[in-house]
Every structure is written in structure tokens, then in C-alpha cells.
Amino acid sequence: MAKKDLNIGIVGYGFMGRTHSNAFLQAPRFFDLPYRPVLKAVCARNTERAKGFAENWGYQSIESDWRTLIERKDIDLIDVASPNDTHAEIAIAAAKAGKMLLCEKPLGRNAAEAKAMLDAVEAAKVPNMVWYNYRRVPALALLKNLLDEGRFGRIFHYRSQFLQDWTISQDLPQGGEGLWRLDSSVSGSGVTGDLLAHNIDMALWLNGPIAEVSAMIETFIKERKHSLTGKMEPVTIDDASSFIGHFRNGSTALFEATRYARGHKALFTLEINGEYASARWDLHDLHRLEFFDHRDEGRLRGWKSIHITDSDHPYMKQWWVPGLQIGYEHTFIHQVADFLTALGKGEEAAPTFRDGLAVDYVTDAVLDSAKNRQWEDVRA
Amino acid sequence: MAKKDLNIGIVGYGFMGRTHSNAFLQAPRFFDLPYRPVLKAVCARNTERAKGFAENWGYQSIESDWRTLIERKDIDLIDVASPNDTHAEIAIAAAKAGKMLLCEKPLGRNAAEAKAMLDAVEAAKVPNMVWYNYRRVPALALLKNLLDEGRFGRIFHYRSQFLQDWTISQDLPQGGEGLWRLDSSVSGSGVTGDLLAHNIDMALWLNGPIAEVSAMIETFIKERKHSLTGKMEPVTIDDASSFIGHFRNGSTALFEATRYARGHKALFTLEINGEYASARWDLHDLHRLEFFDHRDEGRLRGWKSIHITDSDHPYMKQWWVPGLQIGYEHTFIHQVADFLTALGKGEEAAPTFRDGLAVDYVTDAVLDSAKNRQWEDVRA
Amino acid sequence: MAKKDLNIGIVGYGFMGRTHSNAFLQAPRFFDLPYRPVLKAVCARNTERAKGFAENWGYQSIESDWRTLIERKDIDLIDVASPNDTHAEIAIAAAKAGKMLLCEKPLGRNAAEAKAMLDAVEAAKVPNMVWYNYRRVPALALLKNLLDEGRFGRIFHYRSQFLQDWTISQDLPQGGEGLWRLDSSVSGSGVTGDLLAHNIDMALWLNGPIAEVSAMIETFIKERKHSLTGKMEPVTIDDASSFIGHFRNGSTALFEATRYARGHKALFTLEINGEYASARWDLHDLHRLEFFDHRDEGRLRGWKSIHITDSDHPYMKQWWVPGLQIGYEHTFIHQVADFLTALGKGEEAAPTFRDGLAVDYVTDAVLDSAKNRQWEDVRA
Amino acid sequence: MAKKDLNIGIVGYGFMGRTHSNAFLQAPRFFDLPYRPVLKAVCARNTERAKGFAENWGYQSIESDWRTLIERKDIDLIDVASPNDTHAEIAIAAAKAGKMLLCEKPLGRNAAEAKAMLDAVEAAKVPNMVWYNYRRVPALALLKNLLDEGRFGRIFHYRSQFLQDWTISQDLPQGGEGLWRLDSSVSGSGVTGDLLAHNIDMALWLNGPIAEVSAMIETFIKERKHSLTGKMEPVTIDDASSFIGHFRNGSTALFEATRYARGHKALFTLEINGEYASARWDLHDLHRLEFFDHRDEGRLRGWKSIHITDSDHPYMKQWWVPGLQIGYEHTFIHQVADFLTALGKGEEAAPTFRDGLAVDYVTDAVLDSAKNRQWEDVRA
């Protein structure tokens, strides 16, 4: 089949630059897609690094200024994989230049930025997507299907956590090269935008809108040495963030994200309790879905651990054989595959910038509630 | 060794009457104790049932009025195992009559009742204890020891849940025989006093006082047929209760109790995250403690599942041999053993009525916060 | 209900003496039984210990010679809880004296002893039972029901292990007080009779007769100091024992028992694989049954962890409420309850001495096969 | 860095053709390697399929006769990924033609074939490796390191299983396209060569040579319709294979492989018990290593679940960040990386054909023992 080329320009070469690039290369080898991503250019201020990155992943060229990149006629799509403080400016300009847009999450550092980004892509009518990659974990895609089929009945509870422990040491500096997630001027917030945003996007997708929240945030270590200035400075990010709340469907919300939970590396968890069934999942064993069905014969009811590696599980027919697990990177591959498939049909691939904005409305409400010490409604 | 008799009069013959009676009989068979509980009398309005109960457990006599029971000279200790609305009246009268007191949890239907009960036992200077039995799970007694030894360093997070699913059906009646937990005039509250109180007592014991909470409660099914009147009546208890908050030591609190979590029968869970270590536990596998120690060699760090059945684990030397688990009922046996041991030394056995009141201060704050939709300080 | 007394005389006061005595006392409190066990006498050579044991458990008298005990008119049932080398002599004499018999496992030190014991109880027509207690684990009673209902279809595989680690130390003595399990003249064999016998009884009950075996046994530490003589002596017991084989139903057998598996205290495991379903269980979490049903909807197939604490699970209606686990000691309580219930109906309660002999035929075949290094048929 | 090209010619385009091709492409993107694999040609009789495969993976050309392929001057390395009956002929010819060799496992259909293959590569002095990919699971590489460091002390037991359930249906045909694993003339044997070979290679690597075995094999369904002839024919492969035995280091062996274990897709398991420590692992959660260390403080001993995703775990520094798991395909990527690294240093990369032959010696002994119903020594 004659496949069309889709020319990609990526901004950023960090952790996310790697996952995206790998996804662009791998998706067409495992999925039958109408487009073939062509790695046209990587853009980064540090030319040496950009060069090494381009060599490794096979980008045909490098750019040092994203403004130049978005002006290039041979680029169809801009992938924004740079730090959060650059998302809005680049995405808006790229949309104006008529480029399709993929953007790392969170979409903006706050809802105001995200709203401007959404307005730009909608005005420009360009395909757009946010890299909330966990929607493409096969176990969670299966859970979404089960929910859509009405197998859970009325939902009573939804709870979700994202637990890490990598910033506990007093000696960890803040800000600077590779550490921009610790600098709120760059990142917008700490765990709220970095981790809790994942919990929220997943919840909105699986369980619908959140109506209201009562939240608290914590900064356990108040001062850290800045990696660039060498001076002790107040820590401006939140180390932990949690909230109780309500979804619009009447179910309760219980959310927590932290980088101070010893023993947990990237423990994204979720559980949903419905009238007839419950399910739970976590990222440390992402290839499993735990499922409980109350309609099972009484004495044989129990939590079932489903090993999501069969050909009738979402995405898995394209991979290996039953029992052989895939991993983290595959969520990005699936997202590229879905994006390109949708593009071929002229359809949107969620999460779009509109979905990204919905997450930022919740994280804004969380941060406001924590600051104001009161319940806050979530904007819609 | 010549052991002294301790004459017991119990009020109530339900689920808790059984666990307590079993504990009185079993404790001296497995532990070397200064006192031997003698089952003198069981008191209940329903004489037929009281008789059957007495026969089964070996109580020497029955009473149909607790007032008569507490007047009996041959009774040393009154065990209040009747519904919540009777706790205060019985306990206060029994204290005035100079009886030692054991009381089922929650101590009062609210802190006001609990305070009056505490005042009574302190005025009477009688030994007293509340049946927060889970403090005597060997795994949790070990966790308490580890915390007291300072192995966790500064505590960052404490979270705890109590998940059940037995009241989801629309057809479940409220109130009446065996269902008083569904009638708030008897119980005081729903899951807040019944389940969350367990989470809170454990947390206060392990992690110290709670300073403030922001809570919400839910009643998912608003009307149920009353089992006695047969009429549809508004449901007055809370089906679910959750809160965020702070402990006085600066750590965060995340708590939830519900009877609407499909797939969970009595899933009391807790997790504590400290600077150096973390631990977690749940009631469905109560004989295990999960422990993570960051001071382990880096590449070999992980969560350890400790099977709490060794002779160097709390209480376990008295039971079987390594690998052979004990169960739920043993927590009550241990509590009796500890109470009698303390009594022999003239010491208090926690949780005393003072500890029981501390729990009620928190549950009051939870209910107030949920009602007022604002943060509430916990009384101390 | 007027219940008849059943007068018990027990021989032995060790670990098993405790589990049996506890079961005699607890069974009538939780089960509605036609007989009430009365603890008439405990017999042991060491009078001091017998006295302490009698006091603790409420035995009305002590004996120092089992011959006297079995002559007593006021004894209905002899419970043989003494070391293996005494089983045959006591049981045969007691049967001749017309006593009912309960005997600790293994029935004999070998099949020849067991056969003589069986002949004695059958000649005397006295009720008899062997304490293979694990048949009364509720999870395994449920599994037995599921198998009997034909839910597994044709069976392909059965495998079972019993892993311990308590004899690894070079310093452990052999033989002597409390260590008779390490002296083959007393015990008959090492892990084969002590642990593997449990695996085998369970397998015969669940999956039917074993036809043939190819086995090996190991003694890792060849010489140990004897605790009585203080001299280094050859170790005569097997430290590990394993076999492959066939059941008569055509399924394969894979068995292993050892006291040299670091990290395992009493890890009795089993798994059965049938045409339609599989199940597995282990003693470290005895209150759970893992169940897989291939007839479940394809994409939702998985291993289900069933928490065996519901009122529709075998034996559990008599205990607490859903979610609250029981433990090891309860298997003995259930066995007493079943024995007394059967007695009331004039029926046998399995495992009888006939079942005990069947196990000894297999362990004999295992030991022969290991010695002769060839396949051995199992006698029937 | 200027990297040398290494020109690859692959024979076969099936499941293994995909895993190898993916590995050739991915290895240089994540590892710093002295060689860059160049996909020169894929060879298959079916030209249409070869073409599709070449297009998908980027092979520059196709061949329909492996004889032509191995004559090509522009090919440095032949990767044998075709069915088992072709391994020997192709590999021997390719070695004579001076090509480096990678060969799928098992090396030969029996040890005689494997020995001829080993002789050929040793005579030709060409680098060679067998695709026993599981040696490159990071968890198992870590286990190997721990064993080499002496952390386990004397080894007592090693047990390993490979459980599948995909051939239970009576309707499954034998032989033919895509089903050659069911035709013993092609495969050599059933699960013994397909699955048990993996267990054995891993065991030899971790625990050294196996001295002797007593084995049994089963064919549960005796006749199946052949997919090509349409006629019922006797099934010639083994559906299940198990053995007990001894390693040369004195530890016991207990092995089992089957395709008739309901509920298991690809459950490769292993456990090793040493004097000081034990470890276990399974393929369904390949990113975890369970580790027990008896030298831990007594009351805190337990099985630790180590999530093998940290930068100090083997291979993991090259991937993502802690907590984010990799999957099955990565074992092949690691094997390519190790092969190319060794090649750059002029060293061998295990498992070589010599290691492959060692596995075949064991599988031959297993099949002989099962046939002869007696203990068999393993050739060395």
C-alpha cells in the first residue's frame, strides 16, 4: 500500500523527545497505518546535543531556533517536547503556521495558557493531540471499553494516586539543566501538573468531568540550593498534592500525587467502584488489569488479575504472543498509531488540546482550593 | 501459679459479644496471665437469646436489665458490647458502681457522650479500655515497634481506607434487629463511626494526633424501607466518608471509608511513608506486613512481604509455629491478654476511654467539616 | 438440645496435643454438634508436664502410662498425639479396648504399621480418623466441591510442594526432646512422612489414587551431633524428597517437600490444571483460593483470588463476617466438628485409617523408588 | 563515533524473524555499540511474504534460496530464524562460507545436529550465538550477578517451569503452515525442545551443569487432524515434559514444561534456594525479581519484590526512568547489544553454540529417560 509521508519536526531532546521519537519509528513497523512519520528535524538550542540526538534517532536535520523550524515548508507536524514554559508560545505560533500539533502534557502551565493554545489550533483547524500517553495502556483501553459497555452500572467511587520518591533528599538541587520540573517558573507547578495531571486526564476519560474539589498541597523541604545560582532559594513547587471531590456523575473522587512516598518509583494507580463491578490498575505492573464482577457466582467472586497480552486485548494483536508483555514505551507507539489512523480518516485523536485544557481546569481548581483552603468548582 | 479470678458481666450477645466471649476464654489458654476471666453473667433484654448465648459460651447466669447487672457484687468488670446508643448510659452507671469497664467502639455516638464516659471512669478511677481491636494485629504491633524505634525518620504521608460493599443493594432495609448500624439514632453515624473510627484510632496510635481535616460524606441511596415500620424513610447514615488533612507532625492524611466499594469485604488498609522507610498493611491478609527500607542496598531495594508468624513477632510466640497464620479473632484475645497483664501491674491498657474520646473528636470534626463544607480543627 | 458427652483421653502434650485440645474446646462453641467433647485425661510419661498441660486445657486427670488410659471405662475416645513410633502400638491396643481413635499423621511409620492399625480398628469396628487437618481448610473444601461438580473436566496436571527452611543450620542437633522429627527411628522418615504426607493425602482426596512414582530423596548435612549422646552421628532422615509420577486418572504428578528452601516457613502449595479450569492454593495465605475458568469471556480471563470468608464458603458461616479471616488452628476445629457430626449420624469421617494407609503406601513407594533409583508402582 | 556496519542476512520471517529484526534496529538506538546492524537481506521460499517482511523492517533485498544468501559477499552474518529442521544445514553451510552465525533455539533438533553445528563454527572460527533470549531479562541478569557474588552460599534446590495452555483444544490441527512446532519431524520434539530448553539453558547458566535426570513425557491427545493432509494422524510431539534430577553442584532439580496448564500463557518460572538466600522470577511479570535474604534482621525477613527498573539494574540505564517497565522484546535487543559489544572486543558472547549443545545434551537425556523409564546421565 502506498503510504503518505508525514514530516515531523520535534522541539526538545530530553526524556520525552526520546519516547516520541521511538514511537514515530516503531508505530509503522507494528501497525498498518496510512501515514509514515518521517523524522525531518529536531530543534534545540544546544546544537551539539541536537546533533547527537538527530544521529541517534535518524532526524535528517537540526535547527537551533524553533521559529525557523515552524517556518519550514517541509514540516507537516510540530511535536512540542520541550519544557512546560515553552508549550504555549511554540504551539500557538506553529498553529498559526498551519502545522499539526502534538504537545507534551500538561498542555499549559495553567488553564489560561492552555485556553490560548486551544483557541489557536481551533482557529487554524489543525489536528492536535496532547501526550497523555497512559490512555494507550492496553489494560486501560480495555477498562474504557468495559465502562462504555455499561458493565459497572452506577459509579460510586473513583480514586487515583501517583506516588514517587525521588525528591526526598535534602541535597537535591532545584531548577537548572535536566531539573526544570523542580522550578515552578518553568513547570507551572510541582506534582500537580507533572503527576496529578496524568491521574486527572485518565479520570476524565474514564469517569467524566469533575465538578468540585477540596485540595491541599505540601512543600516538605522549604529551601534548596539552586543548581545554577548555587544559592539557597525557597522551593516554589508542590511536593505533594491531594484532593477529595465529586465527579458530575455523583461519584466521589480521592486523588493524591507526591514525590515523597518512599518505595514508589512511578506508582500511578487507579480504582473505580461501580454498582456491579470494580477495577483497579497500576503502572508498576501496567500489563495487568484487576477486575471484580459482582455478577459472578457468589462463592466464586474475587478479584481477577487479567494478564493483558492476548490478541483480543486492545493493541495486543500487533505485538507478540499471549503471555509476553510490553512496556511503558508502547503507550507512545499506540498513541502515534491512533493519531495517524484518525488522521487518515479525517478524525480527531483524543486527547486533543480541548481535553488537555479540561485537565488544566482541574489542576487550576486544585491549586486554588489548596491556596484558598476552600472547596472550588471546576470550570468547564 | 495461683491466678486471681476476674468476674465478667457482659451486656450484648451479638457479633461483638461473641468475639469478646471467645477472647475471655482463649486468652488464659495461650498467655500466662495474672487473672483468669470468669464468665459470670450475660445481660440482654431477650431472655431466650441470652440463655442460648450463656449456654454456648458458659456464662453462669443471665440478666435482662443491665442495671441489675452492674449492681451485682460478684461482678468486677462490665463489658459493654451492646449497640452504640447504650454505651454512655451503661458505662457511666457501671463506673459509678465501681466496675472496671471494657467498651465496644466507638466509645460514644459523638465526643460529648465519650467525654462524659471518660469523666465517669476517671472520677471512679476504674480500669477502662475500648475495643479498638486492630491495635493487636501482630503485624501492626510490629509496625508500631518499628516506628517507635525511629526507623522511618520524618513522616510525610499516612493514608488509610476501610472498604466494604455490603449495603449497595437497594433492597437492604434500614434499622431494626441486627441492622442497628444502619440507623443513625442508634449508631450515631454510618461508616464514619463504624469503619473510619478504626482507621483513625490506628492512625492516632501509629502517627500521633490529627490537627485538621477537610471531609465529605455521601449517602448514595437516599430512602430505604425501614425493617420495623415497613415504610420508606430517609436514610440518615453516611454510606461513605473521606477526608484530607494534616497530622500534628506535619504529615498529610488521606482517609476513606465506604460500604459501596464493590469487591471489598472488610478491606481496612493503611500505608505510612517516612524519610527512610515505608510500610503498608491490609486486613484481608492481616498476617502480612509490607515493608520498604530505603537503606537497603540500592539495586536490591523493594517491598518486602513479611509473613508475621515467627516467634520473634509480637504475640506469635504464644501461638503455633512459623508459617501458620492466626486470624481476626486473635486480635481480641491479645487485647484481653494485654488488659489483664496491665491490670496485674496496676497499669493502664490502651486504648483507654481517653484514647476512645480522641477518636470521637476526629470523627466529630469529620462530620462537621462535611456538613459545613470547610476545614475543621480537631479538638484535643 | 441435650448433647451427649464424648469422653476424650489424649496421649501426648506437644504441638499437636495443643491443636487437638483447642479444637475439642472450640468446636462446640461454633458448630451445632450432637456430642460435646469432655477432656477426661491427658497421658504423658513426664508427670510434671502432663499436669501443666491438664491445667491449661482443663483436662480432668492425668495418666503416666497409656496402657492405664485405654483401660479406663470413662474414656470413649483415644487421641494419639504422641511421636510416630508410638502410633501403632497405642492405636492397636486402644482399638482392642473398644475405643474410638483419632491419630496424628502419618498413621504409621510405614505402610506395614498402618495396615496393622487399620486391621485393628476395622476388627474392633470403632470410629477412626487421621489428623490430616488440611482437608478442612475452607478454601480446599471449596476446591473439593468444585472438582466434584465436574467444573475442571479432564485433569492434566497436579503439583504440590511443602517448603520449609528450619533445619539448614549445621548446628541443629538431631533427635532428643522436642526434636524427634529428626530421628528416623522415631519418625520413620524425614520430610517424606512429615511434610510430603500432607501433600499426598490432599492429592489423593482431590485427584484420586497415584499409580506410580519416580522419586529422589536428599540428606544435605550428613552428620549432626545428637542432642542426647552429644556425639556426631550420621543423619538418617531425608531433608528433601521429590517425585514425578502418574495419577490413575492419567494426570501427571510433580511433588516436592524440603526443609532446605530458604524463605519458606510452611509453604504447602498445590495446583491442579484441568481441561476447563485450574486452581491453586498455598498455606501461607490459606484463606485464599486462586481460580481460573477458561469458560469466562475471553478478554476477561484471569486468575481470580477468592477471599474465602463468606457465609456461602465451607465452614465460614459459623465464624465471623465476610472479610475476616480465620487461621491454621481452625482446620482442627472443623475436623472435630465433622467427626462429631458424622458420629451422630453413624457415618465415617474421612480421612479414616484406610485413607491414612493409602498415604503410607505412597510414601513407601517414594522411599523405595528413591532407594532403588527406579519407577515404583504404588500399592492399593 | 564512526561505527562499522555489520551486514545481516536473515533466514525466516515468522515470530522470531520479527523479534530479531526489531532487535537489530533498536539496539543501536539505546546502546552505544561498535557495530551498526545493516539489514541486507531476508530469505524465504515465499517471495511475496519475504517482500512484505523486507518492506516492513527495511531489509534492502530478498532471497528465495538460503544457499544464495550465504554466498553473498555483502553479508557478514547469517541469522537462522527458520524452523528447527533447517538449523543444522544452514548453519553448517554458512559457517563454511565464513559467516558469523546467530541461530534460534534449540540449536539442533537433537544433540547430534547441534554437535555438528558446533564443530562447523569452531572449525570456521566464526562468532556464533544462540537466541536463548531470557538470559537478557534484566531481573535474571541481576540474579546471575548475585549468584556470582556468592550471596546464596551452597545451593540446595533449583526448580523451573514453563506452563502454557494453547494446545488443549481437540480441534487444534498438527503440522503445516505456522504450526511446525506441532510436527516433531520439523521441531524435533514438543515442549521439551520448545519450552523446557529455555528452562534448561537458564539453569545451566545460573546453577551449572546437570548431572542426571529421571523424566517423563506425555501426549494427552493422541491423534489430531493434520492441517495439510486433512487426515487424522498420531501426534508425535510431547505435550508435557518433566524431570527430577541433580546438578553437579549437589543441588536438586525439578523441571516441568507443558502446553496443558489452563490459565498460563507463557509462565516461565524459576526458583533457587541457597544456604543464605533464595530468589524466584517469572515471565508474566518479567520486570520483577523476588529475593529473600536470611541475613536480614530476623523479625524483618521476607520476600522482597524488586521492581527492576532502576539505573543500577542491568541494562536499565539505557531505557527510561525508574518505575517504567520494559517488556519481552527487549531481551532480544539486549542480546544484540551484548553480541556487538563482545564482537568489538573480539570476545565471545554467550550463549554460544557450545552452550546450545549443552542444552541439547540435557533435552536428549530427558527424552531418553522418559522413553527408557530410567535415570539417565547427561553427556558433557
Q: Tell me, what DSSP letter sits at residue D194?
A: I
DSSP state of B249: T
- Give per-residue pLDDT as tens, D1-57: 558 999 999 999 999 999 999 999 999 999 999 999 999 999 999 999 999 999 999
Q: Categorize the per-residue pLDDT at A180 as very low, low, confident or very high, splitting at 50, 70 and 90.
A: confident
Question: Do the Cβ atoms of D304 and B302 come within 8 Å?
Answer: yes
Taking CA–CA distances from D164, the nearest residue in chain C reads C273
| pLDDT digit string, tens, across residues A51-87 | 999 999 999 999 999 999 999 999 999 999 999 999 9
Do strands A155-163 and A267-274 pair parallel, antiparallel, or not at all (unpaired)?
Answer: antiparallel
Q: Three-state SS across A47-88?
A: HHHHHHHHHHHCCCEEECCHHHHHHCCCCCEEEECCCHHHHH
- Enter the CATH code of domain C4-133: 3.40.50.720
Mean pLDDT value across chain D: 96
Q: Is A263 on the interface with B (CB under 8 A)?
A: yes
**Which tens digit of pLDDT belongs to each residue from B192-213?**
999 999 999 999 999 999 999 9
Inter-chain CB proximity C313 and A299 less than 8 Å: yes
Q: Is residue B171 predicted with pLDDT exceeding 90?
A: no
Helix, strand, or coil here: B32? coil
Read off the pLDDT band of C351 (50, 70, 90): very high
> Which range has the worst mean pLDDT, A221-230, B71-80, D306-315?
A221-230
Task: Determine, for residues B328 and C325 on separate chains, whether the beta-carbon distance falls below 8 Å.
Answer: yes
Say how many C-beta atoms besides its own lie within 10 A of residue B345's C-beta: 9
Instruction: Please say whether the beta carbons of B292 and B151 come within 8 A.
Output: no
Mean pLDDT for D223-248 is: 92
**All chains having 3 or more CB pairs closer than 8 angstroms to chain B:** A, C, D
Q: Which chains lie within 8 Å of chain A at 3 or more CB pairs, if any?
A: B, C, D
Residues in A 57-86 with any Cβ partner in D closer than 8 A: 57
Please report the pLDDT score of residue A38 as a whole number.
98
pLDDT of C131 over the 90 cut: yes
Q: What is the pLDDT of residues A316-355, one digit of tens each?
A: 999 999 999 999 999 999 999 999 999 999 999 999 999 9
D306 to B312: CB separation less than 8 angstroms, yes or no: no
pLDDT in tens, C185-242: 899 999 999 999 999 999 999 999 999 999 999 999 999 988 888 899 999 999 999 9
Distance CA B355, CA B380 (A): 11
| D22/A283 Cβ within 8 A | no
Q: A with C: how many residue pairs have Cβ under 8 Å apart?
A: 50
Q: Where are the domains of chain D?
A: 4-133, 135-377
Give the pLDDT score at C226. Answer: 84
pLDDT at B173 over 90: no
CB of D295 within 8 Å of a chain B CB? The answer is no
For chain C, give the number of residues.
380
Write the ipTM.
0.97
Question: Contact B265/C327, CB-based, under 8 Å?
Answer: no
Nearest to C114 by CA among C133, C80, C87: C87
User: Touching check for B218 and chain A: CB below 8 Å?
Assistant: yes
Phi, psi of B84 (to 5 degrees): -55, -35
pLDDT digits (tens, 9 = 90+) for C282-322: 999 999 999 999 999 999 999 999 999 999 999 999 999 99
Cell 498513541, located at residue: A335
At D334-374, the pLDDT tens digits run 999 999 999 999 999 999 999 999 999 999 999 999 999 99
**Order of strands, edge to edge, in the sheet holding C77-80?**
C61-63, C35-43, C4-11, C77-80, C100-103, C128-130
Q: Do D307 and A284 touch (CB under 8 A)?
A: yes
DSSP character for B242? Answer: E
Q: Exposed, middle or buried, D377 (CB in 10 Å: 0-12/13-18/19+)? A: middle
Q: How far, in Å, CA of A327 to CA of D321, rounded?
A: 12
Is the predicted pLDDT of residue C176 greater than 80, yes or no?
A: no
- Residue of D167, D252, D278 to mutate, interface with C, max C Cβ within 10 Å: D252
Chain D touched by B140 (CB under 8 Å): no
- The partner residue sitting opposite C261, judged by closest CB among D157, D256, D373, is D157
CB-closest option in A159, A275, A303 to B168? A275
pLDDT score recorded for residue B227: 80
pLDDT more than 70, % of chain D: 99
Nearest by CB to B244, from A159, A242, A263: name it: A242
Q: C219: which residues sit within 8 A by CB, 6+ positions away?
A: C190, C235, C236, C237, C238, C239
Residue C298: helix, strand or coil by DSSP? helix
Q: Kindly determine whether residue A252 and residue B242, on different chains, have CB atoms separated by under 8 Å.
A: yes
B309 CB within 8 Å of a chain C CB: yes
pTM: 0.97
The reply to whether residue C164 touches residue B266, judged by beta carbons under 8 angstroms, is no
Tell if the CB–CB gap between D165 and C260 is shorter than 8 Å. Answer: no
* Angle, helices D329-345/D15-30, rounded to nearest 10 degrees: 60
Q: Quote the pLDDT of residue A171.
A: 86
Any chain C CB within 8 A of the CB of D294?
yes
CA distance C319 to chain A (A): 16
Best mutation target among A147, A154, A156, A373 (most B Cβ atoms within 10 Å) is A156
Nearest C-alpha neighbor of C81 from the set C131, C23, C146: C131
- Which residues in chain C have their CB less than 8 angstroms from residue B29's CB? 22, 25, 56-57
- What's the gap in Å between the CA of B243 and the closest CA on chain A? 7
Cβ atoms of B81 and B47 within 8 Å: the answer is no
**What average pLDDT score do residues D242-261 get?**
98
CB burial class (10 A; 0-12, 13-18, 19+) of residue D165?
A: buried
Split at pLDDT 50, 70, 90, the class of B172 is: confident
Find the CB nearest A261 among B215, B261, B273: B273
Average pLDDT over residues A359-366: 98
State how far the Cα of C53 lies from the Cα of C12, in Å rounded to an integer: 10
Does B330 contact C328 at a Cβ distance shorter than 8 Å?
no
Please write the tens of the pLDDT for every residue from B208-235.
999 999 999 999 999 998 888 889 999 9
CATH architecture classification, C136-377? 2-Layer Sandwich (3.30)
Cβ–Cβ gap C294/D261 under 8 Å = no
Q: Under CATH, what is the fold of the domain D135-377?
A: Dihydrodipicolinate Reductase; domain 2 (3.30.360)
The band of C2, judged by pLDDT with boundaries at 50, 70 and 90, is low
What digits encode the pLDDT tens for the residues D196-235?
999 999 999 999 999 999 999 999 999 998 888 889 999 9
State whether residue B333 is helix, strand or coil.
helix
- Asked, as a colleague might, if the bond just before A351 is cis with ω within 30 of 0, I would say yes
Write the residue in C254, C260, C276 that is nearest to D242 by C-beta. Answer: C254
- C266 three-state secondary structure: coil
Give the pLDDT of residue D277. Answer: 98
C-alpha A46: how far from chain center: 26
CB contact under 8 A, B310 and C265: yes
